[in-house]
């Protein structure tokens, strides 16, 4: 870690250790966040981007975007990455942090990624740890959502009657029931085959040879747009890819995310390339099968 970042990292670790020591002496304490802190340098982490922007010939003192990366692990997965019986979903933690002026860079199911800017001082580490402690206290007390995250009430009247711990338990249980972690891993490992070149795909678009297809019917279809589970996640499908008929993990994952969003307003996944039509159906633009058959005909 570069020398200028060490005081901030040390301050964060010190504040975290102090918090955990205080918690260890309290009755009923059984969880807290598990952060991994590392220095991040944009030019080192993204060499392809650096070359594209022609930063490779810049002096070493130029384009310095050094930041302290705080990768917070929330309870919910065991050491092997399998779902645990108890969980504190990262979506809820991020919602709470944003309410207090701390904006995560991205949020997973049980991970929150934060960047402290390069001009941050060691004293800036303490407020973050304090907010994490505050969240834990509200969670363990099952404080009413209308007190802890009142803006959630705009999404659904259900939240008027829930506490923070109850909401976390409901979201965690829904994630287990929908097998989100399992399906996400299977989707990333699914072999995807590009079926249409960019030039051919453009031809289908300008000739009106596309149609909207419901998520459940995506198997075997060629998508027109990038499909992703969220802006911070790697894409599941690129334009021109054919959705596999088997295995159905990718389609099942998109369906599970849709179901999750329907059950928890305000926490809907930001599905890329998926639209909601006038009938409330989640649809994806695909190439018409007849158009594909015509182009492939001898």
Taking only the tens place, the pLDDT of each residue in 9-57 is 677 777 777 777 777 766 556 788 887 655 554 434 433 333 323 333 3
**Helices 125-140 and 90-99: angle between axes, nearest 10 degrees:** 120
Task: Provide the β-strand partners of residue 123.
Answer: none
**Would you list the domain boundaries of the chain?**
6-35+66-178, 181-296
pLDDT of residue 193: 83
pLDDT value at 64 more than 60? no
Does the domain made of 6-35+66-178 have the CATH classification 3.20.20.70? Answer: no
Lowest mean pLDDT among 44-53, 84-93, 134-143, 265-274: 44-53
Q: Which residues contact 162 (CB under 8 A, 6 or more apart)?
A: 144, 145, 170
CATH code, residues 181-296: 3.90.100.10
What token pair was written down for 242? 């054919």
For 32, the 3-state DSSP assignment is coil
The yes-or-no verdict on residue 3 having pLDDT over 80 is no
pLDDT in tens, 223-251: 999 999 877 678 999 999 999 998 899 99
Q: Which long-range contacts (CB under 8 A, 24 or more apart) does 139-143 make?
A: 139/88, 139/164, 139/165, 139/168, 140/28, 140/165, 141/165, 142/166
147-153 long-range contacts, Cβ below 8 Å, gap at least 24?
A: 148/96, 149/92, 149/95, 149/96, 149/99, 151/99, 152/95, 152/266
115 in helix, strand or coil?
Answer: strand
Ramachandran angles phi, psi of 79, nearest 5°: -65, -25
Instruction: Provide φ and ψ at 240, rounded to 5°.
Output: 95, -5
Neighbours of 145 (CB within 10 A): 23
Phi first, then psi: give them for residue 100, nearest 5 degrees: -110, 25
**pLDDT per position as a tens digit, 170-199:** 999 999 999 998 898 898 878 788 889 999
Per-residue exposure over 80-108, b if at least 16 CB sit within 10 Å of its own CB, e if not: eeebeeebbbbbbbbbbbeeeebebeebb
Rounded to 10 deg, the angle between the 6-24 and 125-140 helix axes is 30
Q: What's the chain's average pLDDT? A: 82
Q: What is the pLDDT of residues 262-278, one digit of tens each?
A: 999 999 998 999 999 99
State the alpha helices, DSSP H only, in the chain: 6-24, 42-45, 47-52, 90-99, 125-140, 145-148, 164-178, 180-188, 198-206, 249-263, 289-296
Is residue 270 within 8 Å of residue 225, measured between CB atoms? no
């Amino acid at each position: 870690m570069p020398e200028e970042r060490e005081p901030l990292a040390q301050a964060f670790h010190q504040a975290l250790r102090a918090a955990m020591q205080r918690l260890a002496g309290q009755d009923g304490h059984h969880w807290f966040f598990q952060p991994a802190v590392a220095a991040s340098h944009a030019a080192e982490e993204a060499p392809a981007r650096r070359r594209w922007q022609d930063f490779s010939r810049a002096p070493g003192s130029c384009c310095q975007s050094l930041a302290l990366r705080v990768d917070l692990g929330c309870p919910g997965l065991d050491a092997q990455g399998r779902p645990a019986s108890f969980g504190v979903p990262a979506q809820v933690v991020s919602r709470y942090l944003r309410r207090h002026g701390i904006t995560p860079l991205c949020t997973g199911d049980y991970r929150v990624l934060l960047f402290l800017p390069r001009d941050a001082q060691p004293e800036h580490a303490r407020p973050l740890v304090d907010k994490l402690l505050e969240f834990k206290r509200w969670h363990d007390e099952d404080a009413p959502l209308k007190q802890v995250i009142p803006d959630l009430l705009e999404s659904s009247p259900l939240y008027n009657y829930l506490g923070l711990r109850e909401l976390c338990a409901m979201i965690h249980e829904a994630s287990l029931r929908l097998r989100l972690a399992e399906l996400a891993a299977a989707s990333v490992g699914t072999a995807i085959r590009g079926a249409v070149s960019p030039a051919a795909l453009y031809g289908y678009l300008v000739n009106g040879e596309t149609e909207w297809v419901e998520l459940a019917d995506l198997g075997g279809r060629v998508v027109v747009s990038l499909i992703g589970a969220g802006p911070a996640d790697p894409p599941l499908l690129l334009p021109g890819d054919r959705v596999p008929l088997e295995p159905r993990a990718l389609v099942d994952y998109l369906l599970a995310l849709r179901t999750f969003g329907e059950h928890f307003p305000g926490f809907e996944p930001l599905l890329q390339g998926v639209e909601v039509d006038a009938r409330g159906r989640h649809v994806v633009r695909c190439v018409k099968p007849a158009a594909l058959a015509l182009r492939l005909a001898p």
